[in-house]
Chain A
Amino acid sequence: MATPRIIVVGGGLAGLSSVIKIAEAGGTVDLFSIVPVKRSHSVCAQGGINAAKNLKGEGDDVLKHFDDTIYGGDFLANQTPVRNMTAQGPAIIDLLDRMGVPFNRTPEGLLDFRRFGGTLYHRTAFAGATTGQQLLYALDEQVRRYESEGKVTKYEGWEFLSAVLDGNGVCRGISALNLRTMEVKTFAADAIIVCTGGIGAIFGKSTNSVVCTGSAQAALYQQGAYYANGEFIQVHPTAIPGEDKLRLMSESARGEGGRVWVPKDKNDKRAAKAIPEGERWYFLEEWYPKYGNLVPRDVATRAIHKVVYEHGMGIDGQPMVYLDLTHIDRETLNRKLEGILEIYEKFVGDDPREVPMKIFPGMHYTMGGLWVDFNQMTNIPGVYAAGEADYSIHGANRLGANSLLSCIYGGFVAGPQAMAYAKALPKQVGDGGHAAELARQQQLNAALMSSSGGENPFKMWRELGDTMTRHATIIRYNSGLAEADAKIVELMDRYRNINLSDKSQWANTSFAFARQLWNMLELSRVVVQGAALRDESRGAHYKPDFPERNDEKFLKTTKAAFVDGAPKFEFEEVDISHIKPRPRRYDATA
């Protein structure tokens, strides 16, 4: 039979991983990406990648990594894929090492490991504080090698618009928009793998990159794919507040010994360094003596929020706390953390080796995403997903340094699975739905282009971001979530009067953004309505009115389907076949 033809959408770690597996197995890949793949958002990951290599004599093993991940995710993740991922961790690190990732080394020349949140082991391999960049480049280089051999064709500067589905609802390719010529085309494929990353843009400002709009996932959801656990949004405890985005300050800062504190006296006006040790409140160390500053992100984020808003103890009355590295020697800091220290220096102007950093939580990651089975396939036959775009690994809260691993693991499963599926796929009847999908997309585009109201899409986006950040991040109330949903519906209504202010047919960024914006609105409803339905607190989802976890009612995956223009929810049992759920108490001392 003919060589399977697979389309991969998105060129971050998950996408590139799947491309490599397919090319290695003899398949042909068309790789679509909005940006040159080397500029994908994975490049922003800083701290490291987890794998239980046990190179520090601590007795770490893959089952402990498995348990930490399940416990850290508050038991919401299906356990079988997490068990598989953690089991493959050590081999994945070895592979990256062989690809030339410049991981930090011990004096003997072995891989060095550091600590990260939610574990008591040194389990995180790292390349300075630019691990995501180094991993992305290593995979990018391998893909470039396959590209030069003709096994991979890149379509950079193309944006995925939709899947092409045949009369039986089976995927036969994609439609995509050329971001220069603004031309829409469909492309044939036996299977597609969607690795389009996060959804930070629906929160306006986040730690995510500009392309992380969730638009592709939202488009597939509107075509019939389930979107799962959308309400689980990770707010990273340590970000640098900024005008245009919230810049991540890696958990590795705490992994290397960074301490979080505020002055004990809220009226203390002294410079941070002038405040003696005894007059500082190290609240994480006090509240969580066992894990200290390395509690999981949801726990640290709520603690900082509490210190600032309940105790009124933010620095100078502002929503900020100190993240202090100044007690660590410069040489160590430069060797292990230079990348992130430079970011702080460049964007804030202070040297964090000398002055404690001022940080505050910022929206960072979605645990939710496209529903996939244990083979990474969505409920649409032939549509696979991997990486942050799928929901499968992190449950109710992701542990730091597990995302890079889950991206590569997901891609390594999706690639071969898509190949196997493609080989068994019956030939399409007629054109496989291509003409109909092309016509549908062209109609949508024509309508948008001719729309002539007074609404600016970029301003509407700011309103969406403000609403989502206020009501659907750290603390959630059902009244606020209802208000957010009403606001989204209002924005959808106003979208009819959108004014592009740019009607040209060449590199029209307003047009591409407006298409994304609609999808962001649809996806935002999934997030807020899912949060409203879940009357409990679990991992990153916290409702003061329902402060406890409720396994009886909510140890379930939330699945949203797009029915009659709105999300319709159902719940699915979670796979707990390996570890019995137990209370999640990081404040326990034993």
Chain B
Amino acid sequence: MAAKTGSTIKVEITRQSSPGSTAVVERFEIPYRPNMNITSLLGEIACEPVTAEGKTTTPVTYDSNCLEEICGSCAMLINGKARMACSALVDKLEQPIRLAPLSKFPVVRDLSVDRSVLFENLKTVKAWVPIDGTYDLGPGPKQFPQLQEELYPLSNCISCTICMEVCPQFNESTGFVGAATIAQVKLFNNNPTGRVLKEERLRALAGDGGVQECGFAQNCVEACPKQLPLTEAISDMGRDVLVQQVKDFFVR
């Protein structure tokens, strides 16, 4: 599996020059160096944009920024699996390495997709703490380390959308918001100040496309590069949404 110095790395990339155009596969052979990752492989192609057949092509368009799996940019399908390109090490991958864009988001070009739906979802569920202002109002409420340790993992979500990509329920017919957004609802509903908007958030998660769409496939929690406790968050929020619906039924 792992290649040696002097050999080449075989890569097949699904490319598409614009949103409307047909996807084609281009093959590349890159001189092997140890310890490469997928983003450095794509960097090599940019320096020498020639296919394995010797045809001159264009550098591959893809999203990337931090290259250390914290900005959430470079999610793509690598050998069919949704993962971050920066932390995908060539030496650990079966060849030919197949790269393709995430399949559930509109392709912009090549491996770059439009994932703005997640940021829109975060608006819908009011994923923020509604503070009074930024002037000096003294410290926040005391918070025991036990609560901090429960919330911190949820705050590590990098918005990569891999949990949405791998979810069988995340598609146009359900309109499911996906695990990432639900986890943020749990985060803010448990914040001592953020919980003031708890009911609004739960109502936003009720009904079509809401938390009830989850089919418990558990793909999200397995694929999440940051190991967020996603299924736990979904089941907690599912329960809270139900309680809220019952409450609303009697009060309204």
- Name A residues whose Cβ lies closer than 8 Å to a Cβ of B: 20-21, 24, 35-36, 38-41, 43-44, 91, 94-95, 97-100, 102-111, 127-128, 130, 133-134, 137-138, 141-142, 144-145, 147-148, 156, 180, 209-211, 242-245, 247-248, 335, 339, 343, 346-347, 412, 456, 458-459, 462, 501-502, 504, 506-510
The count of A-to-B residue pairs whose CB atoms sit within 8 angstroms is: 186
8 Å CB contact of A507 from B36, B66, B109, B191: B109
Known contacts: A99-B131, A244-B40. The answer to whether A346 contacts B59 by CB under 8 A is no
8 Å CB contact of A137 from B108, B110, B130, B155: B155
Asked if B127 and A144 make an inter-chain contact with CB atoms under 8 angstroms apart, the answer reads yes
- B8 in contact (CB, < 8 A): no
Interface residues of B in 120-141 (CB under 8 A from A): 122-123, 126-131, 133-134, 136-140
Closest CB in chain A relative to B11 CB, distance in Å: 15
8 Å CB contact of B69 from A102, A343, A509: A343
Q: What separation, in Å, do the CA atoms of A458 and B48 have in the docked complex? A: 9
- B22 in contact (CB, < 8 A): no
- B200 in contact (CB, < 8 A): no
* Chain B residues in 8 Å Cβ range of A127: 152, 155
Of the candidate stretches B93-101, B142-150, B165-173, B243-251, the one touching chain A is: B142-150
8 Å CB contact of A100 from B126, B159, B193: B193
- Name B residues whose Cβ lies closer than 8 Å to a Cβ of A: 17-18, 33, 35-37, 39-40, 43, 46-49, 56-59, 61, 63-73, 86-87, 89, 108-110, 112, 116, 119, 122-123, 126-131, 133-134, 136-140, 142-145, 148-149, 151-152, 155-156, 158-159, 188, 191, 193-194
Asked if B66 and A38 make an inter-chain contact with CB atoms under 8 angstroms apart, the answer reads no
Closest CB in chain A relative to B80 CB, distance in Å: 20
Q: What separation, in Å, do the CA atoms of A228 and B228 have in the docked complex? A: 43
Q: What separation, in Å, do the CA atoms of A137 and B122 have in the docked complex? A: 12
Known contacts: A44-B68, A102-B152, A109-B143. The answer to whether A39 contacts B129 by CB under 8 A is no
Closest 4 A-B residue pairs measured CB to CB?
A: A141-B128, A244-B40, A97-B140, A109-B142
Asked if B134 and A243 make an inter-chain contact with CB atoms under 8 angstroms apart, the answer reads no
Asked if B143 and A210 make an inter-chain contact with CB atoms under 8 angstroms apart, the answer reads no
Known contacts: A130-B70, A504-B58. The answer to whether A244 contacts B37 by CB under 8 A is yes
* Chain B residues in 8 Å Cβ range of A412: 134
Q: What separation, in Å, do the CA atoms of A20 and B133 have in the docked complex? A: 9
* Chain A residues in 8 Å Cβ range of B71: 35, 39-41, 43-44, 209
Known contacts: A44-B68, A94-B137, A95-B136. The answer to whether A145 contacts B130 by CB under 8 A is yes
Closest CB in chain B relative to A197 CB, distance in Å: 11
Known contacts: A39-B71, A109-B143. The answer to whether A507 contacts B128 by CB under 8 A is no
Known contacts: A102-B151, A347-B68. The answer to whether A107 contacts B145 by CB under 8 A is yes
Closest CB in chain A relative to B19 CB, distance in Å: 9
Known contacts: A95-B136, A97-B139, A109-B145. The answer to whether A458 contacts B128 by CB under 8 A is no
* Chain B residues in 8 Å Cβ range of A245: 67-68
* Chain A residues in 8 Å Cβ range of B49: 501-502
Q: What separation, in Å, do the CA atoms of A482 and B110 have in the docked complex? A: 42
* Chain B residues in 8 Å Cβ range of A104: 145, 148
Asked if B59 and A458 make an inter-chain contact with CB atoms under 8 angstroms apart, the answer reads yes
Q: Can you give 24 contacting A-B residue pairs, CB < 8 Å?
A: A36-B116, A38-B72, A39-B65, A39-B72, A98-B140, A100-B188, A102-B148, A102-B151, A105-B143, A105-B144, A105-B145, A105-B148, A110-B142, A148-B126, A180-B108, A210-B65, A243-B33, A244-B36, A244-B37, A244-B39, A248-B68, A346-B69, A501-B59, A507-B109
Known contacts: A95-B134, A456-B47. The answer to whether A130 contacts B58 by CB under 8 A is no
Asked if B68 and A100 make an inter-chain contact with CB atoms under 8 angstroms apart, the answer reads no
Asked if B128 and A128 make an inter-chain contact with CB atoms under 8 angstroms apart, the answer reads no
Q: What separation, in Å, do the CA atoms of A358 and B194 have in the docked complex? A: 42
Q: What separation, in Å, do the CA atoms of A169 and B85 have in the docked complex? A: 44
8 Å CB contact of B128 from A145, A210, A244: A145
Considering residues B46, B70, B86, B144, which has the most beta carbons from chain A within 10 angstroms of its beta carbon? B70
Q: What separation, in Å, do the CA atoms of A142 and B151 have in the docked complex? A: 18
Considering residues A91, A134, A210, which has the most beta carbons from chain B within 10 angstroms of its beta carbon? A210
8 Å CB contact of B156 from A20, A24, A130: A130
Closest CB in chain B relative to A211 CB, distance in Å: 6
From A240, which residue of chain B is reached at the shortest CB distance?
A: B68
From B152, which residue of chain A is reached at the shortest CB distance?
A: A102
Asked if B159 and A38 make an inter-chain contact with CB atoms under 8 angstroms apart, the answer reads yes
Q: What separation, in Å, do the CA atoms of A507 and B15 have in the docked complex? A: 13
13 more A-B contacts (CB under 8 A) besides A43-B71, A243-B40, A346-B69? A35-B63, A39-B73, A98-B140, A141-B129, A144-B127, A145-B128, A209-B71, A244-B86, A247-B68, A346-B87, A501-B59, A502-B58, A507-B108
Known contacts: A38-B119, A98-B129, A510-B58. The answer to whether A108 contacts B142 by CB under 8 A is yes
Q: What separation, in Å, do the CA atoms of A111 and B143 have in the docked complex? A: 9
Q: What separation, in Å, do the CA atoms of A244 and B39 have in the docked complex? A: 7
8 Å CB contact of A99 from B59, B69, B129: B129
* Chain A residues in 8 Å Cβ range of B134: 20-21, 24, 95, 412
* Chain B residues in 8 Å Cβ range of A39: 65-66, 71-73, 159
8 Å CB contact of B66 from A100, A209, A504: A209
Q: What separation, in Å, do the CA atoms of A79 and B105 have in the docked complex? A: 50
Closest CB in chain B relative to A442 CB, distance in Å: 22
Considering residues B36, B67, B108, which has the most beta carbons from chain A within 10 angstroms of its beta carbon? B67
Closest CB in chain A relative to B159 CB, distance in Å: 6
Q: What separation, in Å, do the CA atoms of A134 and B148 have in the docked complex? A: 12
8 Å CB contact of A134 from B47, B112, B155: B155
* Chain B residues in 8 Å Cβ range of A347: 37, 68, 87, 89
* Chain B residues in 8 Å Cβ range of A242: 35, 37
* Chain A residues in 8 Å Cβ range of B138: 94
Q: What separation, in Å, do the CA atoms of A5 and B128 have in the docked complex? A: 25
